[in-house]
Amino acid sequence: MTAKPTPKPRRMAFEFDPKMDKYWYHGNSLMTTMLSVMSGMFPEGERFFIHAVRHYQDQVKDPELQKEIRAFIGQEAHHGNAHEVVNQLITERGVPVDQVEAEVIDKLKMAKGRLPARGQLAITIALEHFTAMLANWLLNHPEIMDDLPADMKELFIWHAIEEIEHKAVAFDVYQQCEGNYFVRVFFMMTATFKFLRDIVWFQSKFLWRDRHFPKLWEWRQTGRFLFGKGGALSSTLGHYLSYYKPGFHPWQHDNTHLIKDWEQRFPRIAERLDQHLAA
Ligand SMILES: [Fe+2]
Ligand SMILES: [Fe+2]
């Protein structure tokens, strides 16, 4: 494997268009609500990941992993903050993802109170597998974000780059401090079900609230996006299932080439790097 990348927190200075369309993904209500609901889940979700990993920080003896944990925390904190800004705009434009944020806050508060630290970390590594998988897919198909509001596209691509960079950090903490295979797999099954269910639930709720019934072209475009040749779900099934192998490790799927020299591939994103505030 090519040497794995070192995660590095970057604070970005995006400028989202305040006049962005309500259905900012090419006017497609299904695609927009799907991506917006995910964005709504990120801020508190990523704070939960930080909380779950922090619990083990003192137990990790490996100085390299200690360094990676600090970078992981910085990256996830910046992601949460950036998505919070865009979520407010999405809400103002008419898709109330603030409701997603509020519900995620409640659910995760409950999870923190009821689940042992091991369960919280197992949820974290399951959802980190999801984000790494979607990030891998997105960076293989950046063209699906062409012609979107520029900063929206850049937000998702920046997030994807950093999700790949730190995809094994929480996993390595789990393996070093816990390591139980059955717990890992059990929480992946429940997290998969809840993650997909919640996205569809919020999408239905938002569309029903506006009595907006997606047209045939919206269903077709979304169907192709998810299940078409090279689609976001159809082409990632194998990647998803690899998590269930007892000897799985995120870097067995070597995709360092996708983030190598990203500054050259995505110069507009590199320009967004907030030089003054870079962590
Ligand atoms: Fe993130
Ligand atoms: Fe992450």
pLDDT for position 279:
45
Which tens digit of pLDDT belongs to each residue from 174-202? 999 999 999 999 999 999 999 999 999 99
Q: Where are the domains of the chain?
A: 29-278
State the distance from the centre of ligand 1 to the C-alpha of 135, rounded, in angstroms.
10
What number is the average pLDDT over the span 139-150?
92
Which tens digit of pLDDT belongs to each residue from 244-259? 999 999 999 999 999 9
State the distance from the centre of ligand 2 to the C-alpha of 166, rounded, in angstroms.
6
CA pair distance 253, 251, nearest whole angstrom:
5
State the distance from the centre of ligand 1 to the C-alpha of 163, rounded, in angstroms.
6
DSSP string spanning 118-174?
A: HHHHHHHHHHHHHHHHHHHHHHH-GGGGTTS-HHHHHHHHHHHHHHHHTTTHHHHHH
Asked if residue 274 has pLDDT above 80, the reply is no
State the distance from the centre of ligand 1 to the C-alpha of 216, rounded, in angstroms.
33
In this structure, the chain runs to a length of 279
State the distance from the centre of ligand 1 to the C-alpha of 27, rounded, in angstroms.
26
State the distance from the centre of ligand 1 to the C-alpha of 213, rounded, in angstroms.
31
State the distance from the centre of ligand 2 to the C-alpha of 45, rounded, in angstroms.
9
CB-side neighbour CA atoms (13 Å) of 59:
14
Predicted TM-score (pTM) of the model is: 0.94
pLDDT for position 219:
98
Ligand at minimal distance from the CA of 167 is 2
